[in-house]
Structure 1
């Protein structure tokens, strides 16, 4: 709606007076209706192509489209659906280990598995997403969506990978642009993942000694800061043996490495103040060297590998006991 002041100025302007009718409220409404119709027509035109056509029309997805064709999935993605696709850019594929890319190109079934891990049956718009939403991918493994807000700024991630542009709509679904390639996890819960990694032998033994296995295998949204064997080796001589013999003390140490209030991937950790499973304050942030750090009142550590997925949360590898 145009203000009365603007209408008056148009009417009083000697260059317009007598030549044009004033821009009335009725005319404004009519113009808005026409503009809305044009916008809707443009949106429908954009969404008239199927997912393959929409992605093919953007050069940033040429690698993704080529791989979809190579895997024999083009017809399904073009004519099936509706689907939601988390679409990695060419830059995302360029950041993969070349050996991994070569392996995918040589193994069509593995390539198909990776690509289907980026696809969710159904049309899921950004407005449908919620924090810690878990959906099953077409590959079979789950994907976890998180929404983090800090100082009015919102980040949306899927398995810790940022969604950099949501809602590229197509006739048979929608694509959300991501800045990394999603790789299917080995599978399993927090304990399974730790037990399957040789870096965490001491941690797994400590979890067993403290009777926390069932807790960390249960359904939940765990964030675990996992000290490596080398981190435990930095403890003073005899300290670990003493802890193992004192189950309450061992439990206290282990629980301050666990957050149960949500799944915090690295994108959601920065400058967050969290509470551990034994009600201690835990903070995370980047130091002046750009390293992501985490600390409690008892210790500080660097996160040497973030964002290891588990079915019931996420694991961050740390180099010290906190």
Structure 2
């Protein structure tokens, strides 16, 4: 089985996410033992952001790093676990809200696919980019 980064690359629909992770030197974290739960926005999710927002984040690596680590939770939380919890602590330091009335939501993002298993955790595919409240307020 591949690690989180290799799995994301092989999936083919996370090219923007992988590019941003590489630009912030977060690859080592997502290749480390973990386990981690990654709420991974698709390329379509990143396409919803205005281009100037994306360009601005590439110019502000500390902010981009906070946004990316906000998508990573500690531990190996599978779909069954997500249906039993209301929040998860992220590597960024904040909490994401988990809602599971019918489908699963992380904050306002819908989970499109769950339980893509990797050597060092699990990936859940989401349809929008999560922004921590403190970053959104800046």
TM-score by length of 2: 0.90
Aligned length in residues:
129
Which of residues 268, 272, 296 in structure 1 aligns to 2:81? 268
Cα distance, 1:220 vs structure 2: 1.2
Q: Distance in 2 between matches of 1:221 and 1:239?
A: 30
> What does residue range 101-250 of structure 1 map to in structure 2 within 5 Å?
187-250=1-64
Cα distance per residue 1:140-192 (max 9 Å; x no partner): xxxxxxxxxxxxxxxxxxxxxxxxxxxxxxxxxxxxxxxxxxxxxxx210000
Which aligned segments of 4 or more residues in structure 1 are displaced greater than 6 angstroms?
A: none
Q: Distance in 2 between matches of 1:230 and 1:278?
A: 23
**Gap runs ≥5 in structure 1:** 1-186
The reply on whether 1:293 has 2:105 as its aligned counterpart is: yes
Name the Cα RMSD after superposition: 1.0
CA contact (8 A) 2:82 2:100 kept: no
Q: Distance in 1 between matches of 2:20 and 2:120?
A: 20
Instruction: Look at both structures and tell me which one has the larger radius of gyration over its CA atoms.
Output: 1
Cα distance, 1:215 vs structure 2: 0.9
Q: Distance in 1 between matches of 2:52 and 2:123?
A: 27
* SS of residue paired to 1:196: helix
CA contact (8 A) 2:38 2:123 kept: yes
The reply on whether 1:257 has 2:53 as its aligned counterpart is: no
* SS of residue paired to 1:235: coil
Q: Distance in 2 between matches of 1:308 and 1:212?
A: 20
Cα distance per residue 1:50-80 (max 9 Å; x no partner): xxxxxxxxxxxxxxxxxxxxxxxxxxxxxxx
Q: Distance in 2 between matches of 1:204 and 1:274?
A: 22
**Gap runs ≥5 in structure 2:** 131-138
Cα distance, 1:244 vs structure 2: 1.2
Cα distance per residue 1:93-116 (max 9 Å; x no partner): xxxxxxxxxxxxxxxxxxxxxxxx
TM-score by length of 1: 0.39
Which of residues 260, 282, 285 in structure 1 aligns to 2:96? 282
Greater relative contact order (Cα 8 A, min sep 6): structure 1 or 2?
Answer: 2
Cα distance, 1:237 vs structure 2: 3.1
* SS of residue paired to 2:109: strand
Cα distance, 1:218 vs structure 2: 0.6
Cα distance, 1:274 vs structure 2: 1.2
Q: Distance in 2 between matches of 1:188 and 1:208?
A: 17
Cα distance, 1:292 vs structure 2: 0.8
